[in-house]
């Protein structure tokens, strides 16, 4: 939000852009080869998001481009040379820590980018394609596949499945703890016919935490319906999932430093829409973690903003929660609330 206070058209325009839009602008201006080199180091979901954002960009102002580059250069100047050219070190470290088999696919994704096989190939597909691919498989196979995906992609796949099977799939995912390598190999054999896959990954899949992560990315109405049905089928499982979920109101339990970190990553427009559906306590927490000027501007925007669709508010809140989870995974903030980590 501090960016919103920068003087001049350049600062104002760049401050309105989301982090994804800034990344897209940067990649579109550095040239195809350099952009491709960067994309090789991103996950499938990150590539999809940035690619979609790049395709949607239109009429980008010169001031906006300059603002993005200025921000990028400012960040780069704060970096050190530590880690540059250490590909062989990373490779040896991962093999030593995880073993040759487990480290193999991870090394490919980090250092090679895109050399995916078997189930990993699904991470490069859109949700609709994955759901169509597994639609007629046994529900346990569907649950394994969905568990293998990143939580946000898994949520999209789950929403693409028929409504009458969603609860059963979440239940199976929650009760799934690990999968035998032979079962994973069989899945890869099936996919090999379509993707020329071979090596089978071996990993623990599923569990209550996996189910909760997927639930966090579902549309609010879908999430509420599944939780209602889960309570009717198995209250203990529903409670366990709910205890690990993190909802927008739980931001009240994040410490001030964490809120400040989060606000630096959230676009002003997204925050305004999300706070239209927040209670006074959460709003006040946001206001007091901003500069006085930024807080006054935000309050004015909230007062002057007309009615907002509930679906738009929910989407904005989900977007902010996704940022919060990313920062939590990176160790930059600790999530409070139901799924929060206890601090002593």
Per-domain residue ranges of the chain: 2-75, 124-244, 248-329
In this predicted structure, the answer to whether residue 6 has a pLDDT above a threshold of 50 is no
For residue 114, give Cα distances in angstroms to 23, 30, 44, 337. Answer: 20, 21, 8, 37
Q: Quick one: pLDDT band at residue 3, thresholds 50, 70, 90?
A: very low
For residue 79, give Cα distances in angstroms to 26, 76, 84. Answer: 18, 5, 11
**Architecture in CATH for domain 248-329:** Orthogonal Bundle (1.10)
Of 38-47, 133-142, 166-175, 330-339, least confident by mean pLDDT is 330-339
Decide if 124-244 and 248-329 have a common fold. Answer: yes
Tell me the average pLDDT across 50-79: 71
Burial 145-178 (b: 16+ CB within 10 A, else e): bbbbbbbbbbbbbbbbbeeeebbbbbbbbbebee
Residue 185 contacts by C-beta under 8 Å, 6 or more apart in sequence?
200
Of 157-166, 201-210, 225-234, 253-262, least confident by mean pLDDT is 201-210
Whether residue 42 contacts residue 110, with contact meaning beta carbons closer than 8 Å, is answered with no
Residue range 124-244 in CATH 1.20.140.160: no
* The residue to which tokens 């499938």 are assigned: 44
| pLDDT value for 195 | 55
| pLDDT value for 275 | 92
Residue 141 contacts by C-beta under 8 Å, 6 or more apart in sequence?
134, 187
Q: What is the chain's mean pLDDT, rounded?
A: 75
Q: Quick one: pLDDT band at residue 94, thresholds 50, 70, 90?
A: low
Q: For the chain, what percent of residues have pLDDT higher than 70? A: 73
| pLDDT value for 21 | 82
d(CA 40, CA 55): 18
In this predicted structure, the answer to whether residue 340 has a pLDDT above a threshold of 90 is no
Whether residue 237 contacts residue 171, with contact meaning beta carbons closer than 8 Å, is answered with yes
In this predicted structure, the answer to whether residue 112 has a pLDDT above a threshold of 50 is no
Q: How many helices (H) and strands (E) does the chain have?
A: 20, 0
Q: Quick one: pLDDT band at residue 5, thresholds 50, 70, 90?
A: very low
Of 37-51, 124-138, 235-249, least confident by mean pLDDT is 37-51
In this predicted structure, the answer to whether residue 13 has a pLDDT above a threshold of 60 is no
Whether residue 278 contacts residue 310, with contact meaning beta carbons closer than 8 Å, is answered with no
Q: Quick one: pLDDT band at residue 341, thresholds 50, 70, 90?
A: very low
């Amino acid at each position: 939000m501090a960016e919103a206070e920068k003087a001049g058209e350049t600062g104002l325009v760049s401050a309105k852009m989301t982090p994804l839009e800034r990344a897209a602008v940067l990649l579109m201006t550095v040239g195809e080869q350099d952009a491709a080199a960067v994309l090789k180091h991103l996950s499938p979901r990150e590539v999809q998001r940035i690619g979609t954002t790049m395709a949607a960009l239109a009429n980008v102002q010169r001031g906006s481009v300059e603002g993005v580059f200025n921000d990028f250069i400012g960040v780069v100047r704060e970096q050190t040379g530590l880690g540059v050219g250490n590909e062989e070190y990373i490779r040896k470290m991962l093999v030593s820590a995880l073993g040759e088999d487990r480290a193999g696919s991870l090394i490919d994704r980090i250092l090679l980018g895109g050399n995916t096989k078997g189930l990993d190939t699904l991470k490069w597909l859109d949700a609709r394609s994955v759901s169509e691919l597994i639609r007629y498989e046994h529900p346990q196979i569907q649950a394994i596949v969905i568990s293998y995906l990143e939580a946000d992609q898994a949520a999209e796949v789950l929403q693409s499945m028929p409504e009458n099977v969603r609860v059963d799939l979440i239940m199976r995912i929650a009760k799934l703890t690990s999968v035998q390598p032979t079962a994973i190999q069989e899945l890869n054999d099936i996919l090999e016919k379509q993707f020329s896959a071979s090596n089978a990954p071996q990993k623990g899949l599923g569990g209550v935490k996996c189910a909760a992560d997927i639930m966090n990315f579902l549309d609010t109405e879908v999430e509420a319906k599944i939780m209602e049905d889960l309570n009717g089928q198995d209250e203990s499982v529903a409670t366990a999932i709910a205890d690990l979920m993190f909802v927008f109101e739980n931001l009240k339990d994040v410490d001030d430093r964490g809120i400040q970190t989060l606000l630096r990553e959230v676009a002003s427009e997204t925050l305004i829409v999300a706070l239209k559906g927040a209670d006074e306590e959460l709003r006040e927490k946001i206001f007091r973690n901003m500069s006085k000027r930024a807080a006054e501007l935000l309050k004015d925007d909230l007062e002057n903003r007309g009615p907002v669709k509930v679906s738009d508010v929910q989407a904005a809140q989900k977007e902010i929660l996704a940022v919060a989870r990313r920062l939590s995974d990176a160790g930059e903030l600790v999530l409070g609330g139901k799924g929060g980590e206890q601090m002593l």
